[in-house]
């Protein structure tokens, strides 16, 4: 079966712009989470969605937001981009508690 698909793979944006990243989970997975990966901070949790509802949010500013659609696909949005937002953004989907998470390849965002 298809894995977790993230688009686009690479993005270059300018400071102050906004960006939208997309994630299609594994079919049947209703939980979708987003993570930011940077060399300095490692992997940090952004938010988790289940059945179109945000269930959990990490310690990120309000510029980071997301949503989930009825087909479980998810998007995350970052507004007013800053240089420090440059990172690999990973999406993960899960069947539920204890099932483990399957990650996508990520979207590498570079802010210049």
- The span from the CA of 14 to the CA of 16, in Å, is 6
Contact footprint for another protein (CB under 8 A): 31, 33, 35, 42-45, 48, 50, 55-56, 58, 90, 92, 94, 97-98, 100-106
Pick the closer one to another protein by CB: 18 or 27: 27
Pick the closer one to another protein by CB: 86 or 103: 103
- The span from the CA of 102 to the CA of 71, in Å, is 17
- The span from the CA of 6 to the CA of 107, in Å, is 7
For the CB of residue 36, give the shortest distance to another protein in the complex, in Å.
Answer: 11
For the CB of residue 57, give the shortest distance to another protein in the complex, in Å.
Answer: 9
- The span from the CA of 32 to the CA of 54, in Å, is 9
Pick the closer one to another protein by CB: 85 or 93: 93
- The span from the CA of 53 to the CA of 57, in Å, is 11
């Amino acid at each position: 079966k298809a894995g977790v698909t993230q688009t686009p793979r690479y993005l270059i944006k300018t400071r102050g712009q906004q960006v939208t990243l997309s994630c299609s989970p594994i079919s049947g997975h209703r939980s979708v989470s987003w993570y930011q990966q940077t060399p300095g901070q490692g992997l940090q949790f952004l938010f988790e969605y289940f059945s179109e509802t945000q269930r959990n949010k990490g310690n990120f500013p309000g510029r980071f937001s997301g949503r989930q659609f009825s087909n479980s696909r998810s998007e995350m949005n970052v507004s007013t981009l800053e240089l420090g937002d440059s990172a690999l953004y990973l999406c993960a989907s899960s069947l539920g508690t204890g099932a483990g998470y399957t990650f996508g390849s990520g979207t590498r965002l570079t802010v210049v």
